[in-house]
Structure 1
Amino acid sequence: MQHRTRLRSRPTTRLTTLRTALVTAGGVGLAVLAASPAAAAPIATTATITAPASVTVGDTVDVALTLPDTTDVFAYQIEIAADADAVEVVDGSATGPDGGFDSVEQDGDTVTLLHTRLGTSPAVSGDLAASVELTATSPATVDLAVTSVTLVATDGSTTTLTDPASTTVTIAAVPTPSPTPTAGPPSTPTAAPTATPSTVPGGTGGTGTGTGTGAGGSVDPVTDTSAAPAGGALAWTGADLAPWVAASVALLLAGAGLVVARRRASRAAGAEDAR
């Protein structure tokens, strides 16, 4: 990946910005500090910077800075080179020693942290810790380099460190999720065909499934138009019983006639014998 050239700070311009921050925060201005009795300049020899080795686009990059073994630091300005196409500052994320005012700004590829003590807060001595948050915006390999550290003492004297530390952050693209298979519409079961019951004509016939046989042979269930029995009646066979009923009545009458004729003949024969 091609990296753009780091922007170097201009101490005079940045110091002017620091002076403005001091006045805004209510601290002691550099012009007033310069009028104080002469004192030794703040002491610092090196700085360290740490950040996650790898992140994903959209993640927050926590950048921590440390200035070990400092002496008489009333204010400071730290400049960090960072690729503006890959990272951007989270507003209001700058932190520093307790009892001071912190701010951060991003100008192109340069991120600037400012800190000044407030009111009667004493100057800082010992290990000085600061931090800032960046948002990863594009896949890249980003070099985060502390290009300049300017320390201001209580009397306005300054100490400047250049190119003291750097680290590298690899920003990966957001993984593309695998497509989820789309379930098809549920299949609708097909109902099994229902057998149509067929009936068998005849006095001794019955009902059955399929083709029934009886005294009258088979009956086509499609063409059979026999009326169904009323509710509560016996099972309907589908046959026309009227002819059978008429024949039975005729036979019954014929039998009765024969009985009557025989009785009359018997009585006539008895009468003849009596004479």
Structure 2
Amino acid sequence: MPERISPTRLRGRRLAALLAAATAVVGATLIAAPAAMAAPATYGAITLTVDDTTITAGDTLTVTIAADTVADLYAYDLVVGYDPALLSFDAASAVYPTGGFGDAQTGTDAVTFSSTRLGTSPGLTGPQTLVSFTFTALAAGSADISLDSSTLIGTAGETTAVDVTAPGLTATTVIAAAPVTPGPSTSPTTTPSPSASALPITGTTPSDPLASTGADATPWLVTGAIGAALVALGAVLVIRRRQAATR
């Protein structure tokens, strides 16, 4: 089971790495820079918005965190909390400002987004989209997404904590259950009606007169043959008597 890492610990780890990178890049410049340049990054209003407040399980939801203005912003981190039972973070979806490097680290119920400029790139100024990313809705419910903490780093390595209690840093999306897809329907089974050829034949059919007697005809045939033999024998006897009388 993966270790649960609190958002604060994640933020600390990412900040340490980003701060080390930022300090290495700008360290040589700061040696000769006037003290006036060593000012922390500043920001105006930061907002967290979603592209839809009502979606269906299985849909994706785009979240955007933006600042109406920033000054001298070289690196930053953003810890975003969410309900993992309702939302799944799409790791490959995060988009950061161009000209820098971004990374996302997932915890149990939060994602930490970190971004830094590269090389001698100047800090960000003016309106900026700090990150945009997507969640996939998992189940029905009311899903809250919030900016739980954030720290900004200027080119001089100075840090500024964002006031996450300000309005506009929590958004809610209502997720409806996915429609039930009916399974394949089966047509009712019909019992074929018996064909005319399969029906039993009732009634009588004309029969052969000889066949109607069946085995009973045999005795009559034998009796007839015997009778004929007796008649022939009688005829022979009569003829012999006549011949004897004439001698």
TM bin (shorter chain)? 0.5 to 0.7
Identical residues among aligned pairs (%): 29
1:193 to 1:86, Cα distance in 2 relative to 1, 3 A:
closer
Q: TM-score, normalised by structure 2?
A: 0.66
Contact 2:105–2:111 (CA<8 Å) still a contact in 1?
yes
SS of the equivalent of 2:162 reads: strand
Distance 2:209 2:189 in 1: 43
What aligned pairs does 1:1-275 form with structure 2 within 5 A after superposition? 10=8, 14-21=11-18, 28-30=21-23, 33=26, 36=30, 37=33, 38=35, 39=37, 40-51=39-50, 52-129=52-129, 130-163=131-164, 164=166, 165-178=169-182, 181-192=185-196, 221-224=205-208
How big is each residue's C-alpha offset from its partner over 1:219-266, in whole Å with a ceiling of 9 and x where there is no partner?
Answer: x7441489xxxxxxxxxxxxxxxxxxxxxxxxxxxxxxxxxxxxxxxx
Deviation at residue 98 of structure 1 after TM alignment = 0.7
Distance 1:112 1:225 in 2: 107
Select the structure with the greater relative contact order (CA < 8 A; seq sep ≥ 6): 2
Distance 1:76 1:142 in 2: 25
2:139 counterpart letter in structure 1: S
1:122 to 1:193, Cα distance in 2 relative to 1, 3 A:
same
1:99 counterpart letter in structure 2: G
How big is each residue's C-alpha offset from its partner over 1:59-105, in whole Å with a ceiling of 9 and x where there is no partner?
Answer: 22211111111111111111112112222221222111111111112
Deviation at residue 179 of structure 1 after TM alignment = 5.5
SS of the equivalent of 1:182 reads: coil
1:223 counterpart letter in structure 2: S
Larger-Rg structure: 1
SS of the equivalent of 1:121 reads: coil
Deviation at residue 189 of structure 1 after TM alignment = 4.5
1:154 to 1:21, Cα distance in 2 relative to 1, 3 A:
closer
SS of the equivalent of 2:172 reads: strand
Give 5+ residue unaligned stretches, structure 1: 1-6, 195-219, 227-275
Distance 1:186 1:133 in 2: 52
Length, aligned pairs only: 193
Query: By percentage of residues, which structure has more helix?
Result: 2
Deviation at residue 144 of structure 1 after TM alignment = 0.9
Give 5+ residue unaligned stretches, structure 2: 199-203, 211-247
Distance 1:225 1:18 in 2: 117
